[in-house]
Chains A and B, each alone.
Chain A
Amino acid sequence: KQEVTQIPAALSVPEGENLVLNCSFTDSAIYNLQWFRQDPGKGLTSLLLIQSSQREQTSGRLNASLDKSSGRSTLYIAASQPGDSATYLCAVGMNYGGSQGNLIFGKGTKLSVKP
Chain B
Amino acid sequence: DAEITQSPRHKITETGRQVTLACHQTWNHNNMFWYRQDLGHGLRLIHYSYGVQDTNKGEVSDGYSVSRSNTEDLPLTLESAASSQTSVYFCASSTWTGELFFGEGSRLTVL
Binding site for B on A (CB under 8 A): 31-32, 34, 36, 41-46, 49, 51, 89, 91, 93, 98, 100-108
Contacts and interface: CB of A to CB of B under 8 A. Distances in A.
Interface in B6-31: 31
Interface in B50-103: 50, 58, 90, 92-103
25 contacts: A36-B100, A41-B105, A42-B104, A42-B105, A43-B90, A43-B105, A44-B90, A44-B92, A44-B100, A91-B43, A93-B98, A100-B95, A100-B96, A100-B97, A100-B98, A101-B33, A101-B48, A101-B92, A101-B94, A101-B100, A102-B58, A103-B100, A104-B45, A105-B44, A108-B42
B97 A49 contact: yes
Contacts of B58: 102
Contacts of B104: 42-43
Nearest to B100: A101
Contact of B100 (A41, A91, A108): A91
Given A100-B31, A102-B45, A51 B100 contact: no
3 tightest A-B contacts by CB?
A101-B94, A100-B98, A43-B102
Q: Is the interface of A mostly helix, strand, loop or mixed?
A: strand
A3 to B, nearest CB: 11
Nearest to A100: B98
Give the secondary structure class of B's interface. Answer: strand
Interface residues of B, number: 27
A108 B37 CA distance: 12
Contacts of A34: 98-100
Contact of B98 (A31, A36, A41, A45): A31
A46 B98 contact: no
Contacts of A31: 98
A43 B99 contact: no
A89 B43 CA distance: 10
Nearest to A49: B99
Contact of B42 (A98, A101, A102, A106): A106
Contacts of B35: 105
Contacts of A103: 45, 100
